[in-house]
Structure 1
Amino acid sequence: MKLLKFGGTSLANAEKFLYVSNIIEKNAQSEQISVVLSAPAKVTNYLVSIAEKVIQDNQVLEIINLTEIIFIDLIKDLAKRQSNFCYIETKESIKKEFIQLRKIMHGVILLKQCPNNIRAIIISRGEILSICIMKSILKSKNYNVTVINPIEKFLSIGNYLDSTINIYESKKRIKNMIINKNNIVLMPGFIAGNEKKELVVLGRNGSDYSAAVLAACLDANCCEIWTDVDGVFTCDPKIVSDARLLKSISYKEAMELSYFGAKVLHPRTIEPIAKFKIPCVIKNTTNIKSTGTLICSKDSSEEHFLKGVTYLNDIVMFNISGSNIKNMNNIIVRVFSVISRNNIKVILITQSSSENKLNFCITEDQTNITLDILDKELQLELKNGLLHPFQITKNLSILSVIGSNIYKKQDIASKIFSSLGCSKINVLAIAQGSSKHSISLVILKKDVLKAVKNVHNTLFYNKKIIHLFLIGIGGVGSTLLKQILKQKSFLEKQNIEIKICMIANSKKALVSDNTINLLKWKTNFEKTKKQFNLTLLNKIIKNNHLSNSVIVDCTSDELLSEQYVNFLCNNFHVVASNKKANTNTLEYYQKIRNTISKTNRKFLYETNVGAGLPVIKTIQNLFKTGDNLIHFKGILSGSLSFIFGKLEEGMLLSEATQEAKKLGFTEPNPCDDLSGIDVARKLLILAREAGHEIELKDIKIEPLLPNTFKKYKDVDKFLLELKKLDSHFLKRMKNAQKSGNVLRFIGTIEKTGDCYIKLEEVNANDPLYKVKNGENAFAFYTNYYQSIPLVLRGYGAGNNVTASGVFSDLLQTLS
């Protein structure tokens, strides 16, 4: 015999009831089937609200009427969909149940109280009616049905609202039943009976527990729990989107997973199937093709010994300590004896014998009662100063890693602690060894989601993941996304994955909890209505729990650059093509460096100076090894390199500028390039890298343009006005060429830290003589490179090379 159990979401409406009946019918073709049903979705919530009088007395009848309508509408729909469905008979059964329920509630309202025995009757109506409806469906399909009454057949021990079934006695009772081998067996979940044959309920996840017990009583060869998820995952898929579905787990692993927070099964459900060695499969009614997860005696996939990362919230840790206690063991025995007598569940225990200290964790709702009983039990020790006052730490969570014989695996603990350390998460207590199958850590509740995500990734994927938050999708930003998409397969081979969590411009943002599809990002970005501003950005930053999160700034926004310290303090790396942070005040420049040192985050900005050229890395490595800058000269503007190269070929200044803009070499307004301010910013960055503490205003710029040009904010007007300077620059270029020289716009840094920028004539022996067509060139004269300078030369402008430089910096965050 096979047992099938269906949860409330699988029975939410007529269509789903029929779908479940089809599953039952299909299974019944090969063997006898027994079925346990929960109440339809939301029904139990309504009944609980009635029983607990969450609502006002005058609303009780309204809720009862609403609940009755749910059932009547459900069977009306069934009558339309299923031929021969016994609508009248089923409706009468439903009406009788609700007449009885109204009588009960009338008495409750008069007495102004609802005893637990009455509450149990009220909240279990949904399961009884589920069986009534399913019986009618199966009868309409010409199946014979045997209904087991759990009040008669399940003997329970405990209170009315949270009882435990005596399996052996219940098994005897069910064995005495005469069940036709051709019948489908139905039983409502969640319900049992006490010695007085009164209805009791089985507490949280009671229907699953009912199913496991019935499987044991019927000697079922398999127990299938049908729910709304594909099975047991390595982590909650709502938290970790790429959690893996487990093909199989052992009973012990399932027990540990459920004990430490996995919501698929309750520990009580696993006990009966483990005791009687009944295989259990967790399956999904909405995805019938999924194989689900098998829970059995021995896991068949032991090579994947890790099984999950789980957590429990709302935990409190008690600390009991005393420097004058001679026999701490006696105290421990008394503490746990009194806790056990009061039915308080201790989740985790750690002890330090050297410090006479004991820590234990319980759920937050048991804090006051635990404190009261310990105060009474240990009042003499507290009064005489043998014990310190109890320390109670609230707002905690327990993170657990589950796996077969996990204690034998030497590197698991180190990986967990490394992951938490990288995320700056403190561990308050650890328990390993009390179970062969788990390691549990106590951490702050506010850190638990971040911890779960990072530990899961470290243990199950060991992938190097970058979580990218991109701001700025102009030429460089959009090209970066193309390059990331193009390199996806290559990076996968290197075990690297870039997850795009946000794409934003100055107006709006596209945000994803997992990763944005780069094949459709433009379409989805157009559709998004989420406005982008610093408030939204700060909210995203504060709520971020992802490891190796990187903000990439491909804008030229000064306000955004002033948020870098905030980003770094919130555990983000920063990669910037935006030069504004490094050319801000010296105070802010140094503040960023101090923050990097404190947070151990990275601030990478290779493209600030040479686009894709490795200028910053090169000089940083030189200076780290003891070299010093004596003199620097360079062409730091790709756009001006292009423009003056074209002038050398006889093109006019306005024409060359217009072509440079067309090719994407210039800023949106070419006036910014020709003003020399962009070159000044790059020179300032190099000077600061060399150790000179200067400001942007200290750099002397010999302007290419008259001051009157600054007023032209409109690009077309600026380009039109630029024609007035064509003859002047044509004349200067021809004069230089007469002497065998060329004109180059050069930035210089002296050993003293003096910096200046001007248009110079250079001869054929100068390393900058042949630099044109958008190339940059950097000539460093240092202690190590004196007579012949270290020269870096290559394209220093254009979307492709700049995006490539940003991409390179992005990958550097993994090192």
Structure 2
Amino acid sequence: MRILKFGGTSLSNVKKFLIVEEIIKDKIKHEQISIVLSAPEKITNYLVESIKTAITKKRLIQLNFIENIIKKFLSELEKTLPSKILEKLKEEINAEILKLKDLLQTVSLLEKCPKNLNATIISRGEIFSIFIMNAILKSKGYQITIINPIKTLIGIGDYLNATIDINLSKNKIKKLKIPKKNVILMPGFIAGNKEKKLVALGRNGSDYSAAILSVCLEARYCEIWTDVDGVFTADPKIVKDAKLLNFLTYSEAMELSYLGAKVLHPKTISPLAKFNIPCLIKNTLNKNASGTIIKNFSKENSPTVKGVTSLDDITMFSISGLEKKEIHNLTGRIFSKISQKELSPILILQNSSNGNLDFCISDNETEKTFEVLKNELFTELKNKLIHPIKIIKNTSIVSIIGNKFQLKKNIYLNLFLGLQKNNVNILAISKNLSQNSISIVIKKCDVIETIQNIHSALFNQNYKIIEVFLVGIGGVGSTLLNQLKKQQKILQHKNIDIKICSISNSKKTIFNEKGIVLNNWMKEFENSKNTFSLEDLLKKIKSNKFINPVFIDCTSSEKIAEKYVDILSHHMHIVASNKKANTSCNKLYRNIRLITKKYDLKFLYETNIGAGLPVIENFQNLINSGDKLIQFRGILSGSLSFIFGKLEQGISLSKATMMAKELGFTEPNPQDDLLGIDVARKLLILAREAGYDLELSDIEIDSLLPKEFNLNLNTKDFFLELKKIDTQFLNRILEAKKENKILRFVGIIEKNGKCKVKIEKIEKSDPLYSIKNGENALAFYTKYYQPNPLVLKGYGAGNNVTAAGVFSDLLRTLSYNLGT
């Protein structure tokens, strides 16, 4: 025997009922099956609302909604059912709707709804499901036995939240003597008390019905069919990369359910665990998925952590000022009174070492709980033996569930790493006695980001995610996207998932929190009608709660650079080929460093100096190891390296500059290169890295362009004007050759921190002599490297090497990713 329970989302329309029938057809080939059904989706909610409107004597709009849903079912079933079966179904449903109307009319007359009447009304949806499924199965030729749970399942307790007497129910069901060829149907959520009056089974009551029926029929398996593939390590709606759990123990499943996982209720798991019946969670719309199986497993090879859950709408009570000996006595008194009032504390956080008693309760029980505490602790409060009761509202409980936590110190380490990322304030922390969970109480506003960060720390230690937000799709930006597209699958095999979540330029943007497909990003971007706004982008990033977001700035925009502090305050790393932030005023420069330190973020800008050359990282490593810069000399412009190399070959300055621009070596405005501004910016960045407190205006620049040169020209006119000084430069090259030297455009940091950018005559013994054709060379004379300098050289210009440098910086953000 196998029990199959189908939830409301599996029964929301006729198409899904027919999918359920296909599942039944597959299962019945192997063994007898019993089917437990919930109400079709939305109907129970409408029934609950219809009671409220009946009491207030408003129009029963919800009843109209229910009738419309049922009419749609009947209309669609006309294509499926033989007329005789269809007519019988219509009679059954119409009779049930008339009964429902009478019940609601009674409620309206009474102006209240007694619990017994309430239970009868809200369980009508399950009856509808049984009528419809019975008709479908009969039309397919199945023999059916319908179990009436009011007569067979003996409910104890409240009309709206009864539990089942398993032994009595088992004896009742055994007497039914159901033929083995028959499919058994039973509505969920319903039982009958000893007076044979209908009682409802409370939250997840249909799952509980299936568990009880599994015990009563001594089933081999209980299958819960729903709209998800099984139990995940976190809610997939919150954590996009939540992982399916293939198996759980009963205790783990109960802990997950109790602490917030919306799959099964602890009440459902308990009878299955007691009678050792495995439970399988399956997806009706993905029946071939393996699902999650819950049973007694050996924990030896089981993963320690199974999931991260949360309970929202929680209030925490804190009672303090107790003596160590008194706390135990007071705890007993308090929870005895709370229990008498049928209130249910969710989490108790007693700490006898500091005389505190903290506990959490649902928001809707806050006022009653406070009244109980005021009355019970009246004497202590009046005589100031304890501090006033502290009530902390708008909180959530976040829990890690698993096994053997007491043996795994790294669980606690990763938990606090996950919290550290967004500076979460922990209001309280608790480990349960069975060592199956760790719970923390935090403010509700922090819960989504906290779950994401803890999950990342615990489950993504070997799997890294980067969410990229790219601004600037000129030569470097578009080349970077091509490089990312080529490497995406290769990196995925190395457990690195780079998702491009937005692509923007100064005019428009495209955004997809799940990742933009790079095969056709350009076409998508061209068709986009969304204008770019950095403020709007940051709002989207904040609302989506990304795991490891990285802002990439491939522009030369000063406006965007001025927003880096704001971007970093959204807990995003920044990778920038844009030099403006590092060469802006010292105030911005320092503020960026302060906020990266505050939030433990990365601001990476390797390409600011040598494109793809690892200049910044190596220089920082030298300084951090105690070395000190004595002098620096370098060729810092790939474009000018290329231009001066061409000048040696007899090519004019204007033509060499045009060639450099066409190859993508120059800045967007070639005047920045020839004026020496670009080299000055790079030199300023290095000087600041060395510890010198300088502004861009402090750097002496020997420009390639004469003072009288007209700078207010468009590109075409600029090159015409540049031709006028071609002869002048040719003469300077010839003069240097006569001295067996060459001309190079050099950036210099002297011993006292004075910085210069100038054209120098270089002799053969100089490490900068052979540098040309776009190469950069940087000679660091330091405490450790003298008299021979540390020289870094290689290509320092071009879209490919610059994009590769940005790509490299992007991957370096992974060293921040929690759990590494």
Unaligned residue ranges in structure 2 (runs of 5+): 816-820
Q: Which residue of 2 aligns with 1:294?
A: 293
Q: What pairs up with 1:618-697 in 2 under 5 angstroms?
A: 618-697=618-697
Q: Which residue of 2 aligns with 1:803?
A: 803
Where does structure 1 differ by over 6 angstroms across 4 or more consecutive aligned residues?
none
User: Is 1:511 aligned to 2:525, yes or no?
Assistant: no
Q: Aligned Cα RMSD in Å?
A: 2.5
Shift of residue 324, structure 1, vs aligned partner: 5.1
Q: Which residue of 1 aligns with 2:43?
A: 43
One-letter identity of the residue aligned with 2:417: S
Give a deviation string over 1:760-783, Cα, whole Å, max 9, x none: 333333332222111112233344
Q: Which residue of 1 aligns with 2:341?
A: 342
Q: Which residue of 1 aligns with 2:125?
A: 126
Shift of residue 430, structure 1, vs aligned partner: 2.2
CA contact (8 A) 1:248 1:299 kept: no
Give a deviation string over 1:67-113, Cα, whole Å, max 9, x none: 21321221221121344661111112111112222223233334333
Q: Which residue of 2 aligns with 1:479?
A: 479
Deviates more, 1:138-147 or 1:497-506: 497-506
Q: Measure the CA separation in 1 of the matches of 2:589 and 2:438.
A: 44
User: Is 1:438 aligned to 2:426, yes or no?
Assistant: no
Q: Which residue of 2 aligns with 1:742?
A: 742
After superposition, the Cα gap between the structure-2 partners of 1:500 and 1:276, relative to the gap in structure 1 and judged at 3 Å, is same
Shift of residue 561, structure 1, vs aligned partner: 1.1
User: Is 1:270 aligned to 2:269, yes or no?
Assistant: yes
CA contact (8 A) 2:55 2:112 kept: no
Shift of residue 418, structure 1, vs aligned partner: 2.6
One-letter identity of the residue aligned with 1:765: S
User: Is 1:81 aligned to 2:80, yes or no?
Assistant: yes
Q: Measure the CA separation in 2 of the matches of 1:32 and 1:331.
A: 55
CA contact (8 A) 2:54 2:111 kept: no
Deviates more, 1:764-773 or 1:131-140: 764-773
TM-score, normalised with respect to structure 2 = 0.94
Give a deviation string over 1:337-370, Cα, whole Å, max 9, x none: 1111122222222222222111111122211111
Give a deviation string over 1:524-557, Cα, whole Å, max 9, x none: 5455554431212321343364444332222111
CA contact (8 A) 1:636 1:747 kept: yes
Deviates more, 1:744-753 or 1:382-391: 744-753
Q: Measure the CA separation in 2 of the matches of 1:55 and 1:531.
A: 51
Q: Measure the CA separation in 2 of the matches of 1:29 and 1:52.
A: 46
Q: Which residue of 1 aligns with 2:818?
A: none
After superposition, the Cα gap between the structure-2 partners of 1:107 and 1:221, relative to the gap in structure 1 and judged at 3 Å, is same
Q: Measure the CA separation in 2 of the matches of 1:275 and 1:216.
A: 9
Deviates more, 1:256-265 or 1:392-401: 392-401
Q: Which residue of 2 aligns with 1:116?
A: 115
CA contact (8 A) 1:245 1:293 kept: yes
One-letter identity of the residue aligned with 1:476: V
Q: Which residue of 2 aligns with 1:760?
A: 760
Shift of residue 471, structure 1, vs aligned partner: 2.4
Residue 52 of structure 1 aligns to a residue in which SS? helix
Q: Which residue of 2 aligns with 1:28?
A: 28
After superposition, the Cα gap between the structure-2 partners of 1:782 and 1:457, relative to the gap in structure 1 and judged at 3 Å, is closer
Give a deviation string over 1:550-599, Cα, whole Å, max 9, x none: 32222111121112222333332222111111111112112222323333
Q: What pairs up with 1:218-617 in 2 under 5 angstroms?
A: 218-298=217-297, 302-323=301-322, 326-463=325-462, 464-488=464-488, 491=491, 496-526=496-526, 528-543=528-543, 545-617=545-617
CA contact (8 A) 2:491 2:497 kept: yes
CA contact (8 A) 1:235 1:309 kept: yes
CA contact (8 A) 2:421 2:453 kept: no
After superposition, the Cα gap between the structure-2 partners of 1:489 and 1:50, relative to the gap in structure 1 and judged at 3 Å, is closer
Q: Measure the CA separation in 1 of the matches of 2:404 and 2:626.
A: 52
CA contact (8 A) 2:81 2:135 kept: no
Give a deviation string over 1:299-342, Cα, whole Å, max 9, x none: 58843343222111122221112245752211011011111112
Q: Measure the CA separation in 1 of the matches of 2:78 and 2:421.
A: 60
CA contact (8 A) 2:119 2:200 kept: yes
CA contact (8 A) 1:407 1:433 kept: no
Residue 215 of structure 2 aligns to a residue in which SS? helix
Q: Measure the CA separation in 2 of the matches of 1:783 and 1:251.
A: 65
Q: Measure the CA separation in 1 of the matches of 2:488 and 2:327.
A: 59
One-letter identity of the residue aligned with 2:263: V
Residue 277 of structure 2 aligns to a residue in which SS? coil
Deviates more, 1:748-757 or 1:94-103: 748-757
Shift of residue 43, structure 1, vs aligned partner: 1.6
Shift of residue 30, structure 1, vs aligned partner: 2.7
Residue 747 of structure 2 aligns to a residue in which SS? strand
Q: Which residue of 2 aligns with 1:166?
A: 165
Q: Measure the CA separation in 1 of the matches of 2:233 and 2:115.
A: 38
Q: Which residue of 2 aligns with 1:197?
A: 196
Q: Which residue of 2 aligns with 1:789?
A: 789
One-letter identity of the residue aligned with 1:136: A
**Identity in percent:** 55
Residue 319 of structure 1 aligns to a residue in which SS? strand
Q: Which residue of 2 aligns with 1:186?
A: 185
Residue 756 of structure 1 aligns to a residue in which SS? strand
Residue 724 of structure 2 aligns to a residue in which SS? helix
Shift of residue 258, structure 1, vs aligned partner: 0.7
Q: Measure the CA separation in 1 of the matches of 2:606 and 2:791.
A: 16
Q: Measure the CA separation in 2 of the matches of 1:411 and 1:690.
A: 38
After superposition, the Cα gap between the structure-2 partners of 1:196 and 1:252, relative to the gap in structure 1 and judged at 3 Å, is same
Q: Measure the CA separation in 2 of the matches of 1:425 and 1:484.
A: 33
One-letter identity of the residue aligned with 1:89: K
Q: Measure the CA separation in 1 of the matches of 2:521 and 2:792.
A: 36
Q: Measure the CA separation in 2 of the matches of 1:333 and 1:700.
A: 79
Deviates more, 1:760-769 or 1:124-133: 760-769
Residue 340 of structure 1 aligns to a residue in which SS? helix
| Number of residues of Structure 1 aligned to a counterpart in Structure 2 | 814
Residue 262 of structure 1 aligns to a residue in which SS? coil
Give a deviation string over 1:144-171, Cα, whole Å, max 9, x none: 2121122222221222222222222222
Q: Measure the CA separation in 2 of the matches of 1:649 and 1:761.
A: 16
Unaligned residue ranges in structure 1 (runs of 5+): none
TM-score, normalised with respect to structure 1 = 0.94
Shift of residue 753, structure 1, vs aligned partner: 3.0
Q: Measure the CA separation in 2 of the matches of 1:348 and 1:111.
A: 39
Q: Which residue of 2 aligns with 1:65?
A: 64
After superposition, the Cα gap between the structure-2 partners of 1:768 and 1:308, relative to the gap in structure 1 and judged at 3 Å, is same
Give a deviation string over 1:484-539, Cα, whole Å, max 9, x none: 44445665676544444433332334434344444454455455554431212321
Q: Measure the CA separation in 1 of the matches of 2:657 and 2:194.
A: 95
One-letter identity of the residue aligned with 2:454: V
Shift of residue 262, structure 1, vs aligned partner: 0.8
Give a deviation string over 1:220-267, Cα, whole Å, max 9, x none: 221111111111112212222222222221111111111111111111
CA contact (8 A) 2:232 2:245 kept: yes
One-letter identity of the residue aligned with 1:4: L
Q: Measure the CA separation in 2 of the matches of 1:764 and 1:21.
A: 87
Q: Measure the CA separation in 2 of the matches of 1:246 and 1:168.
A: 33
After superposition, the Cα gap between the structure-2 partners of 1:650 and 1:574, relative to the gap in structure 1 and judged at 3 Å, is same
Q: Which residue of 1 aligns with 2:93?
A: 94
Q: Which residue of 1 aligns with 2:814?
A: 814
One-letter identity of the residue aligned with 1:162: N
CA contact (8 A) 1:709 1:718 kept: no
Shift of residue 273, structure 1, vs aligned partner: 1.3
Deviates more, 1:559-568 or 1:49-58: 49-58
Residue 31 of structure 2 aligns to a residue in which SS? coil
